[in-house]
């Protein structure tokens, strides 16, 4: 099934010049970049994005790390794009992620883990709409 999913290159990834490396992996996997933009999150926007994690002990620190610098938000489209992008990313904790995944190869630690990806159809819908209008997605 053709899906849209939201990806983010987090501040640690942008700061370490990894945009091209990450987009190159996306292209090699034959996912289509249907929208992309660089921006910096303010506190309200970062907290709103991660609202599901509000009760977690790491929430405050996660929000700070997402506000620490520029990010690149993008939409991927393709068959099973949600799962395929999660597979490219690897597990949340880079020390547990499979070799060859973005997080295993590039991430700094479990919090500054370089990339985000939506985890299901409903969250993908919400997250894509959180950053992009329909007429910005190609």
Minimum CB–partner distance for residue 101 and Mg ion (Å): 15
Judge whether 5 and 130 are in contact, CB under 8 Å.
no
The catalytic residues are 116
Rounded CA gap, 37 and 28, in Å? 20
One-character DSSP codes across 75-135: EEEEETHHHHHHHHH--SSTTTSPTTSHHHHH--SSSS-SEEE--SHHHHHHHHHHH--GG
**Interaction pattern, residues 56-95, with ligand IDP; x per rule: CB under 6 A:** --x---x-----------------------------x---
Asked if 41 interacts with ligand IDP (CB under 6 A), we say no
Minimum CB–partner distance for residue 30 and Mg ion (Å): 23
Rounded CA gap, 19 and 68, in Å? 16
64-123 binders of Mg ion (CB under 5 A): 119
Contacting residues toward ligand IDP, per CB under 6 A: 53, 58, 62, 92, 110-111, 113, 116, 119
Q: Which residues in this chain contact Mg ion in the complex, by CB under 5 A? A: 119
């Amino acid at each position: 099934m053709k899906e849209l999913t939201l990806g983010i290159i987090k501040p640690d990834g942008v700061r370490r010049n990894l945009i091209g490396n990450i987009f190159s992996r996306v292209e090699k996997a034959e996912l289509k970049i249907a929208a992309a933009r660089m921006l910096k999150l303010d506190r309200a926007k970062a907290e709103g994005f991660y609202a599901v994690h509000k009760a977690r002990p790491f929430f405050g620190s996660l929000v700070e790390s997402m506000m620490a610098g520029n990010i690149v938000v993008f939409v991927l489209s393709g068959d099973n794009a949600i799962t395929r992008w999660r597979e490219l990313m690897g597990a949340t904790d880079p020390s547990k992620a499979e070799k060859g995944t973005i997080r295993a190869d590039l991430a700094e630690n479990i919090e500054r883990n370089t990339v985000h990806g939506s985890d299901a159809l409903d969250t993908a819908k919400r997250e894509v709409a959180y950053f992009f209008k329909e007429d910005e997605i190609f």
